[in-house]
Amino acid sequence: MAEEEKKAAGETKSVKGAWDVKYRWTFRQDLMDRYVAGLKEKKLWGTKCHRCGRVYVPPKDICGKCFEEIDENWVEVKDRAELVTYTVGYTSITGQPYPEPQITGTVRFEGSDSWALGPIRGLKPEDIKVGMKLKVVWREETKGQLSDIEHYAPAE
């Protein structure tokens, strides 16, 4: 890395040691089945923690904040979102240049506390900003699959 790149990136710090980090991870197919069934109807469903109130879209059965099990407490959220992070790709994983830059973003749906990932269309890289409002663009014919969300686009 060139000196000027190091300066632009800023100083990094590391801390050596062992960290006792609580985590719990599970995957429940029944939750995802209900989620993708909602996508077929062009609806976004998430699960809500009864303890802290966090809403997860896509659904989770364990709260990432308080580690409580989330029961069948389903809530519908809007198909509007806020951009949390993004990246711009100029070449494919094989090194071939894309005809146009490809933007992939992480979004938080209105009414949700978690993030989802997907392509963003209708913007040039210089026009995209963290915090901007986006909308879901649904496939014309939905099938009950994650790909029913075709992409995200600027909200009107």
pLDDT tens for each residue of 8-60: 556 666 677 777 777 666 678 889 999 999 999 999 999 999 999 999 999 99
The answer to whether 65 touches 54, Cβ cutoff 8 Å, is yes
Count of domains observed in the chain: 1
> Domain containing 48 — which CATH number?
2.40.50.140
Residue with the two structure tokens 């830059």: 101
Q: What is the domain extent for residue 77? A: 29-154
Residue 13 lies in a domain: no
pTM of structure: 0.79
Tens-digit pLDDT profile for residues 87-134: 999 998 899 999 999 999 999 999 999 999 999 999 999 999 999 999
Whether residue 21 lies inside any domain: the answer is: no
Query: pLDDT at position 71, please?
Result: 82
Longest dimension (CA), the chain: 53
136 within a domain of the structure (yes/no)? yes
